[in-house]
Amino acid sequence: MQRYVPILSSGKARHCLAWGIFVWLLAACAALPSTELRDIGGEIQARYEERLSTLSPGKQRHYAQRLYRITGNDKYVPANVDYAARLALELQRDMAGLAVEGYPMARSRAIVEAYPSRTEKQRRRKVLLARWGEIPFARQLLFRLAQANDYRLLGTSPFAGHERALDYLAGVDFRRFLLDPDVLDVYAAQVANAVYYLHDLGITDLRDAFATAMRTRYPAQQDDALSNAVFRNKIYGLTHLVIAASGYYQHSVNAEEVEWVLDYFSANIDPIIARTKADIFTEVGISFELAGRGDDPAVARIKQALLERYDPQARMIPAEDGGTELEFGEHRNVLAIMLFRWPDRLHSGPDLSGHALFRPWPTPQVTGHDKDQHRQKVAALGSD
């Protein structure tokens, strides 16, 4: 007697096939030895470190800062020292400029004027920033102080007088800017950064207000209605909520505090990978690692997606258009290194407070003539 074998409808068959492929991909990534993932991360790392000196100073700082924090290796300290020395000069100029009427507004106009406008996103940001008065300068000053704070340099001689900058920032209405829906739509990750800089520097605490604003502006059930650009901005903002809470990879985060973010990522990992760039979904994977949830199935999916994009000849993760320029790919590839070579512990800093460049300076004798010349120089700086 023949046994009855049910025949699946074509729709059900496609569903079963898709589910089977999904399970196979998870198994394939899980079966890939962690040493092989580390080796691929090592290939990317070697590629970048062969040419690190050819990158712009900002990219060198970004790379060396992150590699130090996942390795604690002192070979990454010199690039951080070079950056901190430039940072000291920039902050000295700005702190002196705060004594000159109109300096913040003049600097803001210069920042907006110099803002790139190559892409539609950049053009939107440029127009938006132009409407916010002194905010462009205040954001830049906040970032610089936060960087100096991470290096434990506030209070050292090159950063003397930083209290004036903190007082200025305390008088800026950051809440109105950072929680504005139009700002969130193009700047969610940068808003997260600023929120945590303000908290870490003791200026104001907008962390809960920012989390509420993100959940209100971007409810999960409305993801399908978002354009890809806005969806990417949303995911990028959520990753930075976690990353900023870690001090940018200096320490782990409390999983309970960011549980709502990670649960959302886990439940929506397929559209996140499909609709965002490698930079963004790699940060999703790192967010899980920072919270001690690296065994979440979403992380395996992310690693598999990243491996599929890896170019073994270029030894890097190419751009969406296939580009392999080291400068433009630094952010994307340092994140891939971090995820593939995630450490057992993170390292803060580096602490540069004991470095020879930042030890106490002799106090110069200032004459009245010197003061007049200084005022003239500072006034000229406002028009840079």
pLDDT tens by residue, 267-291 = 999 999 999 999 999 999 999 999 9
Q: Are the C-beta atoms of 91 and 162 separated by less than 8 Å?
A: yes
Give the tens place of pLDDT for each residue, 230-262.
999 999 999 999 999 999 999 999 999 999 999
Structural domain contains residue 372? no
Separation CA 138–CA 144 (nearest Å): 10
Report percent pLDDT > 70 for the chain: 85
Q: For 12-16, 161-165, 184-188, which range has the lowest pLDDT when averaged over its residues?
A: 12-16
Query: Residue 303 maps to which CATH number?
Result: 1.50.10
Average of pLDDT values for 212-219?
97
Mean of per-residue pLDDT scores for the chain: 89
366 in a structural domain:
no
Whether 56 maps to a domain, the answer reads yes
User: Is residue 201 assigned to a domain?
Assistant: yes
What is the pLDDT, as a whole number, of residue 361? 55
What's residue 34's pLDDT? Answer: 72
| Whole-number Å distance between alpha carbons of 325 and 322 | 9
pLDDT of amino acid 35: 77
Q: What are the angstrom distances between the C-alpha of 246 and each of 80, 192, 200, 202, 310?
A: 19, 12, 11, 16, 27
Residue 14 falls inside a structural domain: no
Mean pLDDT along residues 217-224: 96
190: tokens are 């940068």
| Residues 338-372 pLDDT 10s | 999 999 999 999 999 999 999 865 544 444 554 45
DSSP 8-state symbol, 311: B
Residue 205 reports pLDDT greater than 80: yes
Backbone angles phi, psi at 377, to 5 degrees: -65, -45
In the chain, the number of structural domains is: 1
User: Which range of residues forms the domain containing residue 311?
Assistant: 32-359
pLDDT band for position 309 (cuts 50, 70, 90)? very high
* CA neighbor of 98 nearest in space, from 206, 199, 194, 170: 170
Q: Assess if residue 13 is contained within a domain.
A: no
What confidence category does residue 27 fall into, taking pLDDT thresholds of 50, 70 and 90? very low
In a domain, 12, yes or no: no
How much of the chain, in percent, has pLDDT values that exceed 90?
A: 81
- Any domain includes 377: no
pLDDT score, position 239: 99
Report whether pLDDT(4) > 60. Answer: no
Among the ranges given (73-77, 118-122, 195-199, 204-208), the one the predictor scored with the smallest mean pLDDT:
118-122
- pLDDT, greater one: 7 or 115: 115
Which pTM was predicted? 0.85
- Rounded Cα–Cα distance for residues 367 and 100 (Å): 19
Share in percent of the chain as helix, strand, coil (round to 5): 70, 0, 30
Enumerate residues 6+ apart whose C-beta is below 8 A from 356: none
d(CA 291, CA 104): 38
Is it the case that residue 145 has pLDDT exceeding 90? yes
**pLDDT at residue 5 greater than cutoff 80:** no
Phi, psi of 249 (to 5 degrees): 75, 20
